[in-house]
Amino acid sequence: MSLTLRTISREQHLAYIQSLPAASHMQVPAWADVKAEWRSESLGWFDASGELVGAGLVLYRQVPKVKRYLAYLPEGPVINWYAPNLEDWLQPMLAHLKQQGAFTVKMGPPVIIRRWDSTAIKAGIQNPDVKRLRDVEATHIEPRAFEVADKLRRMGWQQGEDGGAGFADVQPRYVFQVPLADRSLEEVHKGFNQLWRRNIKKAEKAGVEVVQGGYDDLAEWQRLYEITAERDHFRPRPLGYFQRMWTALNAEDPNRMRLYFARHDGVNLSAATMLVVGGHVWYSYGASDNIGREVRPSNAMQWKMLQDSYALGATVYDLRGISDSLDENDHLFGLIQFKVGTGGQAAEYLGEWDFPLNKLLHKAFDLYMARR
């Protein structure tokens, strides 16, 4: 199959994304507006009959002092990753990006390699010899994903430095997902562990209500988010980022981004942002106050978001990144512990891959990033 690649308009790009069952929220054209500090381009792959059969959002970041760029396709491109002729898809992309002044290309194939159900993860947590998710036998393995990895290596792509520890990639390598396809809401609720079910009931009894907010409520979101950042020792994004995200994503599709609050006695105790692309829904950012935890606002909010995702016809509710550590002393362990209670499954993506178009600049950039 002969493929040609060229720049496409945002309209073509969006129409293509809308024709698919799902795609990453970082591959919709509006994501370029969220990442305003990057230059962006929409790429399209066309087959011999001239039909658009793949798309990619490329973000270009200029390197200090030189007119060369890092080209980044977060969780993309959106192509047929299992195509036997994968090089026919990726070679034209590399040639094009080189022409655009890229010295290195980074991409994140949206290909899942392994899945672990919550039973397997729980057994891993209870086993003192198991320290990492990858030490647990996977519940499901996708053999075609290994073939994709082999092909990429043969083409000269290099896998992200961490070799799979999860957080060295820019995007999470390990995520936690609750499958919704072919399940009733009752089955989803039954899949929660006892603690989650008890906490949801506790929140209901206490009168916690979960409501959706709008653009004007982003300042209140920011208040809770900054409390969370201080408690969990991370640097919060500024309010302007979330305002830009709301405006850009919802201008593209009025249902792309939602904001939720769980409140008790009129006080907002926790909040979350939710993103929707086709049948894939993401719990994207979460925040909570230091008070009112005893009424379990976060559990109530997640359950409401899950119900709403189900009502939207979603096939998967994605709780995003987890670390692959199953060690109770690890500071990231609480994250997987909270998410595993939903009865979903952990999934491992192929991770991010780099193609150095200019080896010298690529190395210099690596050193520059390491020092930051």
Q: How confident is the model over 161-219, as pLDDT tens digits?
A: 654 333 345 889 999 999 999 999 999 999 999 999 999 999 999 999 999 999 999 99
CA distance 209 to 269: 10
Mean pLDDT over the full length of the chain: 94
Query: What number of helices (H) and strands (E) belong to the chain?
Result: 12, 16
The helix (H) or strand (E) run that includes residue 286 is strand 280-288
**Taking the complete model, does pTM exceed 0.85, yes or no?**
yes
pLDDT at 169: 52
Q: Which CATH superfamily is domain 4-108+352-370 in?
A: Gcn5-related N-acetyltransferase (GNAT) (3.40.630.30)
Strand segments, DSSP code E, in 3-162 are: 4-7, 39-46, 52-62, 69-73, 102-107, 112-117, 140-141, 158-159
Q: In this prediction, what percent of the chain has a pLDDT beyond 90?
A: 89
Q: Pick from 1, 93, 10: which is nearest to 48 by CA?
A: 1
For residue 21, pLDDT over 60 is answered with yes
Domain ranges (residues) in the chain: 4-108+352-370, 112-349
Q: Which 8-state DSSP code applies to residue 114? A: E
- Position with higher pLDDT, 334 vs 285: 285
Token pair 């981004």 is found at 257
For residue 148, which amino acid is it? V
What is the arithmetic mean of pLDDT over 275-288? 97
In the predicted structure, residue 239 carries a pLDDT above the cut 60 = yes
Q: Are 330 and 243 in contact (CB under 8 A)?
A: no
State whether CATH 3.40.920.10 applies to domain 112-349.
no
Given this chain, do its domains 4-108+352-370 and 112-349 carry the same CATH topology?
yes
